Amino acid sequence: MRTCVPSLSYGMLQLRPQAHELGVTLPQPHAVARSGVSRRTLLAGAAAATVAATVDPFSPSAASAQSADGQSTNEQLSAAAATYVLIHGSWHDGSMWKPVAAELRKAGHTVLTPTVAGHGNDGDKTASHTDAVNSVVDQIVDARLSDIVLLGHSYGGTVIARVYEEIPDRIRRLIFWNAFVPAAGNSLMDEAPPHYRELFTQLAAASPDNTVSLPFSIWRENFIQDAKLEFAQSMFELLSSEPFAPMNEKLPLDRFYATLPQVGRSFINGTEDTALPPGEWGWHPRMSGRLMGPRLVQLPGSHEVMLTNPVLLAHKIVEAGRD
């Protein structure tokens, strides 16, 4: 049974989907399981749908454009094969990286896209933040990976900061892509704007398992506004509920900040990413500024450019991850 979403608004942000305004029947999380359409089937079409779902300048054909140093981005993508571990954000699982991972692998890179504990439709929603970190550490160690470029997106930033504390000798560079870099002692919720704290607290309390399901209106207007409506709806069906407890877990991060100068650091900033409102609560420079002089790589696109333009994001990951 679908939990009723509280009708809340903050400023101009509508927090309840307005189906009559959109003129559509809005998909709900977990609709994939009910419809019998597999996640793999939907994601297999994501890369193909990207061209139609994005603005022309962001199309895959733009990947052949010349960069500032005169080298084509196709050449850059293939240069210096590396090992990338890509950590997803809230409401996602590892399969959401499939279009980006395909681009990186095609260029000869090794890519691991683990699902963080507590995530996905089959995840244990009682998992703690420590469980999330350990699940990533275990997969890296089990795969015997070293000299890795570890990337975290959104909530994934809190995970990679802790993973770096546990296995620093295996990590060559950290990349935070519009990701949380919590101040020492803070939780993710401490770093979120007040309206999100209030909303997520209410949604978790109304849920049967202390989780947060993202309202479609926020997904559409603030996470994936650079996609066509139909594509945004199809990707919304892939989302799963987010455990609330890890969002509130305080993270000391004393070892992270003490050793941060010893590892390569990059921050990828999507210039149209409004998942956090620009200004006081924005991603850059608020989060990037905590990384002690990181390499800054910027790209046009929303918080979900991994889905709306995976080719461009793959190139920017390589730019952020190279020596």
Span 179-185, mean pLDDT?
A: 98
| Predicted pLDDT at 80 | 84
In sequence order, the 6+-apart residues with CB closer than 8 A to the CB of 64 are 72, 73, 74
Name which residue leads in pLDDT, 273 or 29.
273
Task: Determine the average pLDDT of the residues in 92-118.
Answer: 98
279 token code pair: 């200004």
Q: What percent of the chain has pLDDT over 70?
A: 76
Structure tokens at 291: 């990384």
Which has more pLDDT, 108 or 52? 108
| pLDDT(62) > 60 | no
In our burial notation (b when 16+ CB lie closer than 10 A, e otherwise), range 170-205 reads bbebbbbbbbbbbeeebbbbebbeebbbebbeebbe
Phi-psi region of 154 (alpha: psi -120 to 50; beta: other; left: phi over 0): left
Q: What pLDDT score was predicted for residue 59?
A: 37
Question: Of the CATH numbers 3.40.190.10, 3.60.15.10, 3.30.56.10, 3.40.50.1820, which one belongs to the domain with range 57-321?
Answer: 3.40.50.1820
Q: Which of 4-13, 200-209, 272-281, 287-296 is least confident?
A: 4-13
pLDDT at 205 exceeding the cut of 60: yes
Work out the mean pLDDT of the chain and round it to a whole number. Answer: 84
Reported as a pLDDT band with limits 50, 70 and 90, residue 208 is very high
Cβ distance 154 to 180 under 8 Å? yes
**In the predicted model, what is the mean pLDDT of residues 100-111?**
97
Q: Cα–chain-centroid distance for residue 252?
A: 22
Contact status, residue 289 vs residue 208, Cβ threshold 8 Å: no
pLDDT of residue 57: 32
Averaged pLDDT, 272-290: 97
Nearest-5° Cα angle at 95, 116 to 111: 85
pLDDT computed for residue 16 by the predictor: 33
5-59: pLDDT as tens digits: 433 332 323 333 333 333 333 334 333 333 445 555 555 555 444 433 433 333 3
Task: Return the domain boundaries, the chain.
Answer: 57-321
Residue count of the chain, please give it: 323
Residue 87 pLDDT grade (very low, low, confident, very high; cuts 50, 70, 90): very high
Q: Using one digit for the tens of pLDDT, what is the confidence trace for 291-320?
A: 999 999 999 999 999 999 999 999 999 999
